A and B are shown apart, each in its own frame.
Chain A
């Protein structure tokens, strides 16, 4: 047993590594099931030699934790998010992807990318074909498919896609393999925004099926590496290799079988029985237990999620007073919250989650230190100085899952310590909370966990008007737009850091708390995985099974 612990301890990961470790497994509710879809090195990246010679063939078994109501990436509204993410990862192709650790643009279907000017980007596509199902029948992918897909997504997406809705002016297709994006202003986040921070709205769908709901719902046709082979009413989805994929010989696996396990305990038992080949979302106690039981048979990885927990305040009295927001921030003991919810595993989170490592403020930055400072006595003084109405009750809303009930309990207790009266109503269902509470800004206070955004601008865009909090601040807005307009990356990193400082100094009414960390376990025969690069590993085609 000592040997196993020694081995485990040797592979412990440095803080820097952890900061890089973003959630291949953590694309929110949908992504938990999706991300395993092909974790491994991206097309074109060699599998580490220590893992042996990759062998083609075999079916990998992964956990599916949610039922997909259908496979249609289009509306109405937010209802398309979960199926849209799944098919975006699994079935449809994309022009490129930008791993969160490097910010490097990795071409997928794109062959050449040419920035004509700050507002115009021309892309030439590689040769690729769609899957051989009617009415598409295996025809070549054309630029008009991409144009039609983008235009349909632009009509349909409900919220938060400011590049699609505000910046992208039009798309031209001079020929079958060329597409030209015209923006109405320079947008330095183009390559991540055109993936919308996730591969939902960048999916390339054959134009002739875009209005065929039955096909989109039940038998989607893409040009990605997998084909949908079957499912039981949206569960136990089976994917099989698309033999004519644009990368000959890939993917190495013959397919992916998702095994529906909504319960974590059941999923861990299924993993222990080797009914599924990889599991994510373990806490350190569960991780240690797995290591104790299986030792060398397992590989353990850690994941500092891009998700982050937050307390959002409506920008109306008394929370429209920056001194009040500052006082509330001082009353929040982030370390305690992290301890209660994640057994202490995680990193404190400023305006940007720490997983966006290159863009976050240095931990010694004075503004960030003030953001993380916990001082209830000072908090009380500051609130009294701002004439905070201590006799008033404030309602803190939340939704039912993802530890939100625990989160609001701790926040309420910490705020009550400085005299703020908090009422906790009943938990809402996620979709009800999105539609009735967050969306219309129908709250005084609400606490929740953000999705794992891959684009660093998305977390900052919450402070940009319009937003859920009705918060408007010209300095914050200007700082955000200055970063978005700066095409030089080093300069943009500095401007993004400056935008975070401006948000902190103005005490924008969304107080981020921490990003949780979790662990993944993979059986040693499942090789070639790429982890910790955002959702990039989900596009991997070189994962393989070594069961020889």
Chain B
């Protein structure tokens, strides 16, 4: 397994290189994407635009620009934003906890809700609960997150004059209550959206497993219902479950951009969105690279976890 893992890790730089090249080139070849034009303003002379090109290094050949940027990133120097000249590394570090907490909490909500209701739905097949869970899963997958988020802002506001606190990130160890109040609405929405897929898959897989011979044998031996489900059936549902959790992570990761925007959470998603609109190339390039790395690493972890979940899986 370790050889497989090392091989996958060895591919990481190749994938990152390809992603970075594609991003780098696309940002520069698409029409109306010149940040110097945006920065210079509407009646700038070509000389002023050229001066900004030189200042930002955009006058160099694209290959030279790429090598310069990549070597800076490799040294840990992410550069400055084009707009505002802020240190990108410092901004990323400042915003990372807000985004990471949102994604992590959403994933936890999504797994807890998805797995538990998926199991309950399978065990209580064709019951009222089963229908409610299946219906909720359809709603969860079909209603956009941002709409649910807005409802979650409006309804408590109208009924209780309540609003989730805004005004900056507060770490859980600094003010746990405020932290929870900030993150409960977006985590619930993103998590429940992600839970829908997990719930459906968990139900289907669990139904299949519950009908298998070894489960029938366990029951015949007199084991309790929950003992059979948790101790015997559950483990065999984990492999597909881990796959779909990996997919949910990517969906939540993407959804967090909108959630951050709606909830005014000053995280990496908002940073990416604003920078993309302003053609702030170094920020967009780095955040695409970061996102690609995170997704690849999560997929690698998912792949490796198969061997732990199912000893029959062998990596060569």
Chain A residues engaging chain B, CB cutoff 8 angstroms = 67-70, 75-79, 158-159, 213, 217, 232-236, 257, 259-263, 265-266, 268-270, 272-275, 293, 428-429, 431-432, 434-436, 438-440
Which residues of B242-281 are within 8 A (CB) of A? 261-264, 266, 270, 274, 277-278
Known A-B contacts A233-B266, A260-B266, A273-B162; the reply to A434 vs B167 at CB < 8 A is: no
B84 contact set on A, CB distance < 8 A:
68-70, 217, 234
Closest CB-CB distance, B56 to chain A, in whole Å? 10
Interface size class of chain B, counting residues whose CB lies under 8 Å from the partner chain: 35 or more
Instruction: Annotate B155-178 by CB proximity to A: 1 below 8 A, 0 otherwise.
Output: 011100111111111000000000
Which of A259, A273, A429, A440 gathers most chain B CB within 10 Å?
A: A273
Q: Are A269 and B262 interface neighbours, CB within 8 A?
A: no
Known A-B contacts A67-B274, A69-B81, A70-B86; the reply to A275 vs B264 at CB < 8 A is: no
Known A-B contacts A69-B81, A273-B157; the reply to A266 vs B166 at CB < 8 A is: yes
Task: Give the 6 A-B residue pairs with the shortest CB-CB distance, closest first.
Answer: A439-B42, A77-B41, A69-B84, A158-B41, A78-B41, A269-B157
Q: Are B48 and A77 interface neighbours, CB within 8 A?
A: yes
Instruction: Annotate B79-100 by CB proximity to A: 1 below 8 A, 0 otherwise.
Output: 0010111100001001100000
A436 contact set on B, CB distance < 8 A:
32, 37
Which of A213, A265, A428, A434 gathers most chain B CB within 10 Å?
A: A265
Q: Is B73 an interface residue (CB 8 A)?
A: no
Q: Are A235 and B32 interface neighbours, CB within 8 A?
A: no
Cα-based distance from A236 to B95 in the complex (angstroms): 14
Q: Are B264 and A260 interface neighbours, CB within 8 A?
A: yes
Q: Are A235 and B266 interface neighbours, CB within 8 A?
A: yes
Q: Is B154 an interface residue (CB 8 A)?
A: yes
Q: Are B263 and A260 interface neighbours, CB within 8 A?
A: no
Closest CB-CB distance, A205 to chain B, in whole Å? 18
Known A-B contacts A70-B84, A232-B94; the reply to A265 vs B153 at CB < 8 A is: yes
Q: Are B43 and A158 interface neighbours, CB within 8 A?
A: yes
Closest CB-CB distance, A65 to chain B, in whole Å? 9
A68 contact set on B, CB distance < 8 A:
84
Closest CB-CB distance, B18 to chain A, in whole Å? 28
Q: Are B94 and A266 interface neighbours, CB within 8 A?
A: no
Indicate which residue in A75, A158, A261, A438 contacts B166 across the interface (CB closer than 8 Å). Answer: A261
Task: Tell me how many residue pairs across A and B have CB atoms closer than 8 Å.
Answer: 133
Q: Is B313 an interface residue (CB 8 A)?
A: no
Q: Is B304 an interface residue (CB 8 A)?
A: no
Chain B residues engaging chain A, CB cutoff 8 angstroms = 32, 37-44, 48, 52, 81, 83-86, 91, 94-95, 150, 153-154, 156-158, 161-169, 261-264, 266, 270, 274, 277-278
Cα-based distance from A217 to B83 in the complex (angstroms): 11
Cα-based distance from A70 to B165 in the complex (angstroms): 25
B158 contact set on A, CB distance < 8 A:
272, 293
Indicate which residue in A257, A269, A429, A439 contacts B163 across the interface (CB closer than 8 Å). Answer: A269
B85 contact set on A, CB distance < 8 A:
70, 213, 217
Q: Are B42 and A159 interface neighbours, CB within 8 A?
A: yes
Q: From A441, which residue of chain B is reached at the shortest CB distance?
A: B42
Q: Are A259 and B166 interface neighbours, CB within 8 A?
A: yes
Q: Are B266 and A232 interface neighbours, CB within 8 A?
A: yes
Interface CB pairs A-B, < 8 A, 11: A77-B44, A213-B85, A235-B266, A260-B167, A266-B153, A266-B262, A269-B157, A274-B161, A275-B165, A275-B166, A435-B41
Closest CB-CB distance, B33 to chain A, in whole Å? 9
Closest CB-CB distance, B198 to chain A, in whole Å? 28
Q: Are B168 and A79 interface neighbours, CB within 8 A?
A: no
Q: Are B40 and A257 interface neighbours, CB within 8 A?
A: no
Q: From A273, which residue of chain B is reached at the shortest CB distance?
A: B163
Q: Are A260 and B166 interface neighbours, CB within 8 A?
A: yes
Known A-B contacts A270-B163, A431-B278, A435-B41; the reply to A263 vs B261 at CB < 8 A is: yes
A213 contact set on B, CB distance < 8 A:
85
Q: Are A158 and B167 interface neighbours, CB within 8 A?
A: no
Q: A260-B266, A269-B163 are in contact. List 8 more A-B contacts (CB 8 A).
A: A75-B41, A76-B41, A76-B52, A77-B41, A272-B157, A275-B163, A434-B41, A435-B41
